[in-house]
Structure 1
Amino acid sequence: MSELTTPLLMVDDDPTFLRILQQAFKHHQIATVTAHSPQEALPLLQSHTFQYAILDLNLDGESGLNLMKELLSKHPQCKVLILTGYASVATAVEAMRLGAIDYLCKPASIGDILKALDLNPETNSNNEAAVLEEESDEFQPMSVKRLEWEHIQKTLIEHEGNISATAQALNMHRRTLQRKLQKRPVEK
């Protein structure tokens, strides 16, 4: 296993998921620092030096990619993994373009996460206690609402999080866009 001289940063707006992931890393003797929002994470970027970070793509309606840009501007050596329950090719490409080392869909096992971060490639990802959620091998096409959510996220990224510019590009009223962003996207 690679030696960590600094804690690993984890930012996710789901407290249960964050706690489970933190316990899994503790089991692997990896110290973590957690935040539930970009606002909680920003002060941590000033007080810590991070070699590794795991960021949720959707942080309560805000893009984790914006936080990743801030993180990499302060700690360019940091290896960032994006985790998301709302994966799309567009967001994966954008995350990699902006500097993420990998992009994993939730559910992801601790073994997959360690392997993506290159912390312990020999980890047995078949360990059922480490699996965060059960994976499904069946292909399911995205619903229209889900496709709309992905398109909104892509357009929001293209306009660097600017709600007004995104609404204009989508030919949508700004309040309508804000309501859509406040809702959790539907599953596939």
Structure 2
Amino acid sequence: MYVMEGNMRKLLIVEDDIALAKTMKRRMEKHGFEVFNCFTASDALLACHRYMPEYVLLDMKLENESGLALIKPIRNLLLEAKIVLLTGFASISTAVDAIKLGADNYLAKPVDTQTLLSTLLDGNCMPIETQAIEETVLSAEQVEWQHIQQVLKVNNGNISATARQLSMHRRTLQRKLQKKPATQKA
């Protein structure tokens, strides 16, 4: 368990899902963080100026905006802050983009409190997607497979909901799920 002693560490959570943001805020406050929530890209930049947080949890999809576009401005303002991009639609390409833009880490939602704390405080916990970047060169089919698995997980295994979210026919999705692409080492 991670509990801070003395001065509280400032954490900015940029998440457009208000219920999720409030839940994360409560969870992180229990571990000694002073937490600020904001729900839009413009509010995020204002909050960075106002609070100067040491840590930023940034959702990749903010209504009609991309959290990726916020990484550079936040990094320019908060040189020493630890920026972690959170997404419900994980892929290797967005992990690479996030790290190149200046994020310190990249995690797929849902994420448990211990993983989040370890990532923010220790920096030792690299997400599977980032480890895979260093170890494996993936084909388009493998990236698609990982994305489908992530969306399926978010939908609690519901094939119909996953197919709708992926704009794919349910039978097509079922066929793709039957064929797992082989891992290709670099």
- Report the TM-score range of the alignment, normalised by the length of the smaller protein: 0.5 to 0.7
| 2:87 pairs with 1:84 | yes
| 2:69 pairs with 1:66 | yes
| Whole-angstrom distance in 1 between the partners of 2:123 and 2:32 | 12
| Whole-angstrom distance in 2 between the partners of 1:91 and 1:98 | 10
The more displaced of 61-70 and 81-90 is 61-70
Shift of 1:186: 3.6
Q: 1:185 to 1:63 in 2, by over 3 A?
A: farther
TM-score (norm 2): 0.63
Do 1:114 and 1:120's aligned partners in 2 also have CA atoms closer than 8 Å? no
| Whole-angstrom distance in 1 between the partners of 2:100 and 2:42 | 24
* Equivalent residue pairs, number: 131
Aligned match for 2:10, one of 7, 11, 14: 7
Shift of 1:105: 0.3
| Whole-angstrom distance in 1 between the partners of 2:49 and 2:79 | 14
Unaligned runs of 5+ in 2: 125-143, 152-163, 168-172, 174-186
SS of corresponding position for 1:86 = coil
Cα displacement string for residues 113-169 of structure 1 (whole angstroms, at most 9, x for unaligned residues)? 111112598xxxxxxxxxxxxxxxxxx9356xx8xxxxxxxxxxxxxxxxxxxxxxx
Q: CA RMSD in A?
A: 2.7
| Whole-angstrom distance in 1 between the partners of 2:97 and 2:57 | 16
Query: Partner residue of 1:47?
Result: 50
Identity %: 30
Query: Partner residue of 2:20?
Result: 17
Q: 1:73 to 1:185 in 2, by over 3 A?
A: farther
Return the structure number with greater relative CO, CA threshold 8 A, min gap 6: 1
Query: Partner residue of 2:113?
Result: 110
SS of corresponding position for 1:13 = coil
| 2:31 pairs with 1:28 | yes
Query: What is the identity, as a one-letter code, of the residue corresponding to 2:91?
Result: S
TM-score (norm 1): 0.62
Unaligned runs of 5+ in 1: 122-139, 147-183
Do 2:9 and 2:32's aligned partners in 1 also have CA atoms closer than 8 Å? no
Cα displacement string for residues 37-96 of structure 1 (whole angstroms, at most 9, x for unaligned residues)? 111112112212121100001111211111121111111111100110011111000101
Q: 1:31 to 1:186 in 2, by over 3 A?
A: farther
More helix by share: 2
